[in-house]
């Protein structure tokens, strides 16, 4: 007897369905990377070689799909967090690295910041889970930095997360040159005030 699916899952999920789902996520990831998260759902389905219906069966809307893609690729971020932990660097250095990783992740796909931001407002968004995790991690690093006196005490993890999001969005403009891309995180770290 196979491991029973947790709770009362009506059915053990057909193998091919699971395969399909994974396939879609992979394809979507590739297309997001190439054309941004605004690619038409149809084209994703077509690229994956499945019908639009199948796509929608697995992911009732774009947000869900994005969430799935992020989840599938989120581990990298979490691993990054672990790596930072392991590196045993100073708390501010750790936070710095984390924020940088966060920014990179947010820039992973053109247009990604938009739905990520939406998740902050829309409690029902499927991205909430992912976001929460990231915010929590941010909080954790921030907290450490604050306790060691390296970070301002009046900042919340969520605010820093939002700040990083805004920086990512700004850096994501078509013609952003290196300088622009550099300056955003720098401002986030030090502000303009001397």
Partner DNA sequence: TATGAATGAGGCTTCATTCAT
Partner DNA sequence: AATGAATGAAGCCTCATTCAT
Binding site for DNA (CB under 7 A): 10-11, 13-17, 19-21, 38-43, 45, 49-54, 56-58, 60-62
Q: Which does 58 bind (CB under 5 to 8 A by kind): DNA, a second copy, none?
A: DNA
User: Which residues contribute to the site for a second copy (CB under 8 A)?
Assistant: 92, 95, 99, 113, 117-118, 120-121, 142, 145, 149-156, 158-160, 162-163, 165-171, 173-176, 179-180, 183-184, 186-194
The Cα–Cα gap between 145 and 84 comes to: 13
Q: Give min distance, CB of 194 to a second copy, in A.
A: 5
| 42 binds, options a second copy, DNA, none, Cβ within 5 to 8 A by partner type | DNA
* Residue matched to tokens 């007897």: 1
Q: How far is the CB of 34 from a second copy (least distance, A)?
A: 18
CB 116 within 8 A of CB 165: yes
CB 96 to a second copy: min, Å: 8
Do 57 and 45 form a contact (C-beta atoms < 8 A)? no
Which of 163, 166, 62, 164 minimizes the C-alpha distance to 122? 62
> What is the residue whose two structure tokens read 């990054």?
80
Q: How far is the CB of 75 from a second copy (least distance, A)?
A: 25
Residues 135/161, Cβ–Cβ less than 8 Å:
yes
User: Whose structure tokens read 């941010």?
Assistant: 138
Q: How far apart are CA 187 and CA 76, in angstroms?
A: 25
For DNA, the closer of residues 41 and 107 by Cβ is 41
- 117 versus 181: smaller Cβ distance to DNA: 117
Question: Which of the choices DNA, a second copy, none does residue 10 contact, using the CB cut-off of 5 to 8 A by kind?
Answer: DNA
- Which positions ≥6 away from 91 have C-beta within 8 Å? 141, 144, 145, 147, 148, 150, 151
Q: How far is the CB of 184 from a second copy (least distance, A)?
A: 6
């Amino acid at each position: 007897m196979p491991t029973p699916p947790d709770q009362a899952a009506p059915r053990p999920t057909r193998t091919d369905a699971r395969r399909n789902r994974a396939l879609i996520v992979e394809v979507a990831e590739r297309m997001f990377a190439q054309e941004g998260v605004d690619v038409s759902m149809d084209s994703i389905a077509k690229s994956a070689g499945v019908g639009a219906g199948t796509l929608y069966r697995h992911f009732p809307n774009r947000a869900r799909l994005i969430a799935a893609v992020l989840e599938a690729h989120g581990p990298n971020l979490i691993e990054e967090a672990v790596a930072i932990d392991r590196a045993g660097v100073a708390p501010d250095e750790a936070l710095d690295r984390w924020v940088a990783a966060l920014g990179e992740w947010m820039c992973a796909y053109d247009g990604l910041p938009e739905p990520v931001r939406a998740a902050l407002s829309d409690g029902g968004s499927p991205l909430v889970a992912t976001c929460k995790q990231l915010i929590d991690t941010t909080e954790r690093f921030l907290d450490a930095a604050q306790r060691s006196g390296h970070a301002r005490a009046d900042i919340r993890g969520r605010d820093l997360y939002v700040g990083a999001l805004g920086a990512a969005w700004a850096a994501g403009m078509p013609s952003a040159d290196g300088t622009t891309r550099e300056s955003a995180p720098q401002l986030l770290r030090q502000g303009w005030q001397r």
